[in-house]
């Protein structure tokens, strides 16, 4: 066993090195882009619409589709969780995170945060206008909505905001278990927000999956650009002084 660990140790060091993390992030972002394209094809062809509608009906009382399945308080809980991905909460949370970073003198990360979140909302609006998918009407909505359905704006924005802030907090945390906690919490919040949108009947499952893919890809892409700029700035400065 020790012989196997000793042989794997150099490879693990490469995996957890800065280059390894960079390549892993690039791979995840590419997979998310591919996933979004695949989901967009499914939505365009409406090949799984009946299956999605069956899933949404399963979350309601068969005798009364306006009543969600489960205990009476579950609908209120879903609304509260869904609100965590709304514009009001996301903007307020982003402002608090920006103030915290400014107090620590991390103004570059503030710029990255603003660019990532602002670009994420712009991307969401662009994709909604491009696909213009109607909201599901298979079950009554438990929440008032107005915009297009694909992709889920709540899922996209929560992926961008919570993952970005989670990474910032993880980088500031001194212990590995604390780093893992922040990352896991960010993914958990994003998953719960997306699931709540389907439970409330305002999104198809493919809308939520596409929002997760697009938001995660955008957040990773912004992080990779920031990493690239940090690496190349010292090299460019050294070349200018020569």
CA 231 – CA 210 distance, rounded (Å):
31
90 is a domain residue: yes
What would the pLDDT profile of 90-99 be if each residue is shown by its tens digit?
889 888 888 9
What would the pLDDT profile of 106-162 be if each residue is shown by its tens digit?
888 888 888 888 999 999 999 999 999 999 999 999 998 888 999 999 999 999 999
CA 178 – CA 107 distance, rounded (Å):
23
Q: Does residue 43 or residue 105 have the better pLDDT?
A: 43
2 is a domain residue: no
Q: Averaged over 41-70, what is the pLDDT?
A: 89
8 is a domain residue: no
Q: Give the model's confidence band at 73: pLDDT under 50 very low, under 70 low, under 90 confident, else very high.
A: very high
Percent of the chain whose predicted confidence (pLDDT) is above 90: 46
What would the pLDDT profile of 182-204 be if each residue is shown by its tens digit?
989 999 999 999 999 999 999 99
Spatial contact of 194 and 137, defined as CB atoms under 8 Å apart: no
Give the tokens for residue 152. Answer: 């889920």
9 is a domain residue: no
77 is a domain residue: no
Query: Quick one: pLDDT at residue 242?
Result: 47
79 is a domain residue: no
Q: Averaged over 163-168, what is the pLDDT?
A: 86
Q: Give the rounded distance of the alpha carbon of 75 from its chain centre.
A: 23
Q: How many domains does the chain have?
A: 1
Query: Quick one: pLDDT at residue 175?
Result: 83
In which domain, by residue range, is 132 found? 85-229
Counting beta carbons within 10 angstroms of the beta carbon of residue 119, is it exposed (0 to 12), middle (13 to 18) or buried (19 or more)?
Answer: middle
240 is a domain residue: no
Note the pTM of the prediction, 2 decimals.
0.84
Query: Quick one: pLDDT at residue 1?
Result: 47
133 is a domain residue: yes
Query: Quick one: pLDDT at residue 17?
Result: 56
What would the pLDDT profile of 13-52 be if each residue is shown by its tens digit?
544 556 666 788 888 899 999 999 999 999 988 878 889 9
């Amino acid at each position: 066993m020790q012989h196997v660990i000793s042989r794997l140790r150099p490879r693990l060091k490469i995996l957890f090195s800065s280059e390894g993390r960079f390549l892993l992030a690039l791979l995840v972002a590419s997979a998310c882009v591919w996933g979004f394209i695949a989901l967009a094809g499914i939505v365009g062809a409406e090949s799984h619409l009946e299956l999605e509608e069956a899933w949404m009906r399963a979350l309601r009382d068969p005798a009364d589709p306006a009543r969600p399945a489960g205990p009476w308080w579950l609908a209120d809980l879903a609304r509260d969780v869904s609100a965590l991905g709304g514009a009001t909460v996301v903007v307020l949370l982003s402002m608090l995170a920006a103030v915290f970073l400014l107090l620590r003198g991390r103004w570059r990360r503030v710029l990255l945060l603003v660019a990532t979140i602002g670009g994420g909302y712009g991307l969401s609006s662009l994709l909604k206008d491009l696909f213009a998918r109607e909201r599901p009407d298979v079950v009554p909505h438990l929440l008032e909505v107005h915009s297009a359905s694909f992709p889920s704006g709540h899922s996209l924005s929560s992926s961008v905001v919570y993952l970005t802030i989670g990474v910032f907090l993880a980088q500031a945390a001194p212990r590995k278990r604390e780093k893992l906690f922040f990352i896991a919490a960010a993914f958990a919040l994003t998953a719960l927000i997306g699931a709540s949108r389907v439970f409330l009947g305002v999104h198809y499952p493919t809308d939520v999956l596409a929002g997760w893919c697009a938001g995660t890809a955008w957040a990773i892409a912004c992080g990779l650009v920031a990493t690239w700029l940090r690496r190349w700035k010292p090299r460019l400065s050294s070349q200018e002084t020569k």
